[in-house]
Structure 1
Amino acid sequence: MLYSKILDLWISEKSLEIRNSTKWNYICTINRELKPAFGDYLVKEITRTMLQDYILKKSEHLKTETIINITKVLSQSFKFAKQEGYVEENPYVRIKVPKEQSAKEIKVFTQEEIAALLNVQGFHEQIVDIVNIAYRTGMRIGEILALKWEDVNFEQEFLMVRCTVSHCQNGVREICAPKTKASTRRIDLDKATMQMLLSMDRTGDFVFCKKDGTILSRGGICQSFKRLCKAADVSYKSFHTLRHTHASVLLAANVHPKIVQERLGHAKISTTMDTYSHLIPGMQKVAVDVFNTLC
């Protein structure tokens, strides 16, 4: 059987257990990379050496993240081929792949930059409100776009993150459950955020939407945010930086990392600590103070 047919069978079965956005990412990898490279080979003709040479060659000009995505499909599709009896031996064994690059330094906006972004005159009010809620809650952009008025509790001043917006094939937007259980969460709101929400038009289902009530585009928001940064004379950083800024503000104020984890929706506190521990003031000083008390 041709490897291209194996890929089609594998993605058909795999799609039953993954989100549509993940499915389309896999399909893009299959169509752009794997079918052109190996699709015309019989699956039993593909060897470990062929796969290793392919990975090494791709590593010369593709990002590490892209290579890792390719190897995920290779690994799982050949495992599927062996399980289904299309090959006797899995050729995807002992394949060396590039190490994941060390995490880049987290960038954040200063308080002066946040103030500038939120006080730009003559800019579309909705993007400013979106920036404000991202900064004050730490919500992901997909979670903000999926937020409905029914998710906001005005009496007890909190909101519930229940859904997110995923982008699938051809830019189609899909509302789905958050990727992890921890991402479904309650976020308590400060007075300024409550005042902003109370002042908004609540006739539609979504808190932030187009004039006809439909979901906003993630790409459109990112482009508007870039223009907002320029208008505010603020050095551009990604929209996701607002989430990092939210975490940094809390940790700098000595808010317990467990609370920050819950607000961000991280599945494990280790994720929060690995990402933001360098922002927690005085961590090294605490260690030094311990030894200062010893002989």
Structure 2
Amino acid sequence: MKGSITKNKKTGKWDIAIDIGNDPSTGKRKQKRKRGFSTKKEAEIALTRLNGDLIEGTYIDPSKKKLNEFMEEWFETRRMQVSRRTLINQLSLFNHHIKPHIGFSRLNEINPSVIQKLITTLVKNANLQPSSISKIIAILKVALEKAVKLQLIKVNPVTNVDLPRENKTEMIVWDKSQVDTFLSNSKKFRHYTACLIAVYTGMRKGEILGLRWKDLDLEKKVIYIRQTLESDGKAFKAGAKNTSSVRTIHISNQLISQLKVHRKKLTEERLKNGTPYNDLDLVICTKYGNPIDPPTLSRRFKEQAKVIGLPVIRFHDLRHTHATLLIEQNVNVKIISERLGHSSIQMTLDRYSHVLPSMQQDVAKQLDNLFKSL
């Protein structure tokens, strides 16, 4: 067995030392030392483990790099992998909720206990929802997984921690009569077409605000999701939220008719405004052709719902309303999942499970009708 075991004359404890190879930067021999074992037996066990790791090639020299330093490098790489807005959000979460607590810790000092303590601190002091804490810890998990791959640490300390339980909030949607009320009383509303697209397609707000006329084929009656407007309204992202979100949605004749009316109105606005018009080919835009600020659309939609006297819901809830109404009409869940751009049918079922009890009752009635002779 390589290495040595010696008794420290000053402390009376046992120390071990073993060669771990050469330093690639200097070419000099590197030696790993561990001190303070109470018995020689403990020192022998530790040396045996070190030898085993060296032989198997699984030994990782404890990194002296601090989490802050590593995360700075990681975010630079992250810049090439995620959208600008996602990067900004993740940086903000790290700077506000991770860095102040464990940012100056060395990577090799961060263990599951440290992460669990961070979670407890966030629950008690940060006044955050469980879903927000999950997002924060998810950033750390992905980053430290990269540290494992770079052989800066041996295992990911975030793997074995307990997150606070997320309380599912009740989904609020409009029923068919409420949708009819909104649409029949909102035809003069500036953002009527955006709302109609949401109700008829279930598209996300960013997808609607990023939709271009060239992404529409009114002859074939389809919309192609190819671009989204980021949540701060400052940039467009090619593609969609994820791979499954890049999709084709078939649309109804009613929506096609409104889109034609809407395009005529935009043409008139463009001619009226002349030179200042910023032609981005957007279906939903300001009178000068610019992207509509997403929070502004949400705020105006809520104001309109309040004026009409309907329950005030979020603009995003029109997407949920679309899905719920289709499920109630017994549309195949696979088709609904594809329209929404979900990664799986299970995701659709989990999200809209609130509709299933009434559907179960319908099934029971249908069975009664099917077996009337019994």
TM bucket (normalised to shorter chain) is 0.7 to 0.9
SS of the residue 1:51 aligns to: helix
Distance in 1 (alpha carbons) for counterparts of 2:320 and 2:156: 42
The structure whose Rg is larger is 2
**Counterpart mapping for 1:272-283 below 5 A:** 272-280=348-356, 281-283=358-360
Distance in 1 (alpha carbons) for counterparts of 2:162 and 2:313: 34
Change (3 A) 1:47 1:263: closer
**Counterpart mapping for 1:202-213 below 5 A:** 203=267, 204=279, 205-213=281-289
**Counterpart mapping for 1:99-248 below 5 A:** 99-101=165-167, 103-120=168-185, 125-167=189-231, 172-200=234-262, 201=264, 203=267, 204=279, 205-248=281-324
Change (3 A) 1:156 1:91: closer
Between stretches 131-140 and 199-208, larger displacement belongs to 199-208
SS of the residue 1:199 aligns to: helix
Matched, 1:37 2:101: yes
Residue deviations 1:102-130, cap 9 Å, x none? x3333211233223322336x86331221
Distance in 1 (alpha carbons) for counterparts of 2:111 and 2:183: 57
How far has the Cα of 1:262 moved from its partner? 2.1
Residue from 130, 137, 140 that aligns with 1:74: 140
SS of the residue 1:126 aligns to: coil
Q: CA contact under 8 A between 1:117 and 1:128: conserved in structure 2?
A: no
Residue from 312, 318, 328 that aligns with 1:252: 328
Q: CA contact under 8 A between 2:328 and 2:359: conserved in structure 1?
A: no
Residue deviations 1:173-212, cap 9 Å, x none? 3232112333222222222211111112354511111122
Distance in 2 (alpha carbons) for counterparts of 1:87 and 1:104: 38
SS of the residue 1:187 aligns to: strand
Counterpart code for 1:242: L
Unaligned stretches of 5+ in structure 1?
Answer: none
How far has the Cα of 1:85 moved from its partner? 4.4
How far has the Cα of 1:19 moved from its partner? 2.5
SS of the residue 2:146 aligns to: helix
- TM-score, length basis structure 2: 0.69
Counterpart code for 1:104: T
Q: CA contact under 8 A between 1:186 and 1:263: conserved in structure 2?
A: yes
Matched, 1:13 2:77: yes
Please tell me the root mean square deviation across aligned C-alpha atoms, in Å: 2.7
How far has the Cα of 1:94 moved from its partner? 2.5
Q: CA contact under 8 A between 2:119 and 2:163: conserved in structure 1?
A: yes
Structure 2 partner of 1:24: 88
Change (3 A) 1:261 1:44: closer
Distance in 1 (alpha carbons) for counterparts of 2:309 and 2:97: 40
Counterpart code for 1:283: Q
Structure 2 partner of 1:263: 339
Change (3 A) 1:85 1:128: same
Residue deviations 1:115-168, cap 9 Å, x none? 3322336x8633122111111111111111111111222222222222222236
> How many aligned residue pairs are there?
289
Q: CA contact under 8 A between 2:225 and 2:239: conserved in structure 1?
A: no
Change (3 A) 1:282 1:90: closer
How far has the Cα of 1:276 moved from its partner? 2.3
Q: CA contact under 8 A between 2:327 and 2:333: conserved in structure 1?
A: yes
